[in-house]
Structure 1
């Protein structure tokens, strides 16, 4: 499975669409790579990540429309997650991540929506 995690520095970005880049974690090969965020354009990122082969997104906050678009693409979500990318991957492997279903306002500022 290929997992995308929005990244800001070494941490999960609090607001999905505004991240610097995405960490892609391949659960089969146990490899990590980074992909630059091509830009915050409404409705674009779910299709972009689907084309990369992403099956699951682990994120902090995410707008309701984005969550609906990911569902349309068949991409699973775990939202309301915070911490370092490495810690989040360890917690995922231990099956310790639980989605809060957190929905950000479409007009929230990056710091306004996090767990």
Structure 2
């Protein structure tokens, strides 16, 4: 089983990981390509370096978001969590695509964090 976290805003993939409102955590049976369970967790707040550890504590193996800063990517990698970037749309649809092997990370690293939505158009 795999645990996949999706950074979300109103049930859709958040354009920037650090600005998401919630994480939807999907328990997925990868052998059966089936979502077994999904739970929404409110974001406990954005503090540098905190969210990757928080998500690891939830048992997550994969994080999906529209974009993410390089520091967060490094922290997820250090915690053994795969990062998939460039996703958009409904969280459930994105996870379904991931399970089918149809979701490919674009590697959208956000360089600017001054303004929400300022992540290279994602």
Matched, 1:14 2:28: no
Name the CA distance, whole Å, in 1 between partners of 2:56 and 2:11: 23
Matched, 1:109 2:106: no
Aligned length: 115
Unaligned runs of 5+ in 2: 30-34
Name the CA distance, whole Å, in 2 between partners of 1:90 and 1:108: 32
Tell me the TM-score normalized by structure 1: 0.93
Q: Which moved more, 1:63-72 or 1:25-34?
A: 25-34
Unaligned runs of 5+ in 1: none
> Residue by residue, what CA displacement relative to the aligned partner does 1:69-115 show, whole Å, maximum 9, x if unpaired?
10111111111111111210221121101011110025242212253
Quickly say closer, same or farther: Cα 1:109–1:98, change in 2 above 3 A.
same
Name the CA distance, whole Å, in 1 between partners of 2:112 and 2:80: 21
Tell me the TM-score normalized by structure 2: 0.88
Matches within 5 A, 1:1-115: 1-28=2-29, 30-113=36-119, 114-115=121-122
Name the CA distance, whole Å, in 2 between partners of 1:50 and 1:77: 12
Where 1:112 maps in the other structure, the secondary structure is coil
Root-mean-square deviation (CA), in Å?
1.3
The structure 1 segments of at least 4 consecutive aligned residues displaced by more than 3 Å after TM superposition are none
